[in-house]
Amino acid sequence: MRISLDRLTKRFGASTAVDGLSLEIGQGELVSLVGGSGCGKTTTLRVIAGFERPDAGEIRFDGRVVNDVPPRKRGVGIVFQSYALFPTMTVAENIAFGLRVARWPAARTYERVAEMVALTRLGGLEGRYANELSGGQQQRVALARALARRPEILLLDEPLSALDAKIRLRLRGEIRKIQQDLGITTVYVTHDQEEALSIADRIAVMRNGRIEQVGRPVEVYARPRTDFVADFIGISNLLSCSIVSARAGVVDWEGERLRIALDGGADGDRVVLSLRPEKLGVVAERAPDDGRNRLHGVLEVATFLGPFVRLEVTVHGRPLWVDVPHATGVLLERRKPVTLAFAPDDCVVIAATGSSAD
């Protein structure tokens, strides 16, 4: 089932939680709404589920407007952040709840519960109560319950936020696999950009009730359109520059001339460069010119992060993050000068909005 959100607006008193948001979600697609707290992602989800009525705009399922359809008739499954398992019912009773309400025959209900138990690997736990389950098991019961009635849309509200890091990783994979096997259209709300990048077909980065950028994870990561997205998705060094020569692709940053792949813009325009830490390299001070930009700075902190080392280097009084492999052949010592290099097409040019970058 396709979901169309058309200029949705939802206000709570004086504050606008969702502000003219439009988004198309295709059949079988998993779209992740990602953003900080208060960005409107959960409200958007609750509008789709029918728990909140939009003040303006339309929600369409396969082209049919569902604004006036109450939650219990929308045929969407939802997994709540708190799981909301019925504590007075067993695992099997929780999963069967929606089927009983819909008056499925007992035999079919039994069969379907068994299927869901198998799908979510809950075998042997059917008779347990929610408080006798681990967090991961509770999460899987919530998923099984939401899917039992074969909804055509699945909504997940921060489904993994209450779990340990390891279990989170494993369940993330399981949810994705089940979602793809069933081919169910899914909206996945999370504040964790890494989770969004790894699980979604497309991610929609939200801020102040609007979508800042939507696209495939690799696009959004590689080509952030705004400084907010560049900063929120992954880690970015944001360099506030002015164009010296649009034709030659030269900008000025803190008095330093940098060659970059410019695409339009006029001389004197302000632009922001987004430079991922892994795109910056450390080179020997007297290394021969290889066409890359060189920046000279001082190493402040080196943090060991397992697969790589993250450096904080001060250049022209500004801190830059640099991720380097363990063995670079360059001596890393605090308070010592280091030379950084990046190629002209390693950075992304963002029109300056003056919002979050300094």
Partner 1 sequence: MAATVAAILLLLLAFVLWPVLRVLATSLAGPAGLTLANYAEFFSSWRLLRILVNSLVVSTVSTVITVAVALVLAYSVTRTDIPGKRFVSLMSLLPLISPPFLVSLAFILLFGRNGVITQALHLDWSIYGFTGIVVSQVFTFLPQAYILLANVLGNIDVSLEEAAENLGAGPLTTLRRVTLSLARPGLASAALIVFILCMTDFGNPILIGGRYNVLATEIYAQVIGMSNFAAGTTMSIVLIVPCLVAYLVNAYWVGTKSYVTVSAGARTAVRPTPPALRRPLFVLAGGAALFIALIYALIPLGSVVRLWGSDWSLSLRHYAFASSAEGASPIWNSVKLAALSGVIGTVVALAAAYVVERKRPPGRRAIEALSLLPAALPGTVIGVGYILAFNVPPLLLTGTVWILVTSVVFWKFPVAVLAGINALKQIDPAIEEAAVSLGAGSVRTFARVVMPLLTGSAFSIFVYFFVNGMVTVSAVIFLIYPGFNLGSVAILNQVENGYPGVACALGTLILAIVIGSVLLLRALVGGDRVAVLKL
Residues that bind partner 1 (CB under 8 A): 49, 51, 70-74, 76-78, 80-84, 86-88, 97-98, 101-102, 131, 145-146, 149, 157-158, 161-162
- Pick the closer one to partner 1 by CB: 25 or 148: 148
Q: At closest approach, how far in Å is the CB of 103 from partner 1?
A: 10
Q: At closest approach, how far in Å is the CB of 78 from partner 1?
A: 5
- Pick the closer one to partner 1 by CB: 146 or 175: 146
For residues 113 and 21, the answer to whether their CB atoms sit within 8 Å is no
Rounded Cα–Cα distance for residues 177 and 78 (Å): 17
Edge-to-edge strand list for the sheet holding 153-157: 76-79, 153-157, 185-190, 30-34, 202-207, 210-215
- Pick the closer one to partner 1 by CB: 108 or 177: 108
For residues 143 and 159, the answer to whether their CB atoms sit within 8 Å is yes
- Pick the closer one to partner 1 by CB: 82 or 355: 82
Q: At closest approach, how far in Å is the CB of 32 from partner 1?
A: 18
- Between CA 301 and CA 92, with CA 165 as vertex, the angle to 5 degrees is 170
- Pick the closer one to partner 1 by CB: 66 or 322: 66
Q: Quick one: tokens of 13?
A: 């008193």
Q: At closest approach, how far in Å is the CB of 61 from partner 1?
A: 15
Chain position carrying tokens 């369409």: 60
DSSP per-residue codes, 168-206: HHHHHHHHHHHHHHHT-EEEEEES-HHHHHHH-SEEEEE
Rounded Cα–Cα distance for residues 319 and 325 (Å): 19
Q: At closest approach, how far in Å is the CB of 338 from partner 1?
A: 43
- Pick the closer one to partner 1 by CB: 14 or 305: 14
Q: At closest approach, how far in Å is the CB of 81 from partner 1?
A: 3
SS3 213: strand
Q: At closest approach, how far in Å is the CB of 49 from partner 1?
A: 6
For residues 94 and 85, the answer to whether their CB atoms sit within 8 Å is yes
Nearest to 23 by CA among 193, 226, 206: 206
- Pick the closer one to partner 1 by CB: 83 or 228: 83
- Pick the closer one to partner 1 by CB: 82 or 303: 82
> Can you list the alpha helix ranges (DSSP code H) found in the chain?
41-49, 91-101, 106-119, 135-147, 165-182, 193-199, 217-222, 227-232
Q: At closest approach, how far in Å is the CB of 353 from partner 1?
A: 32
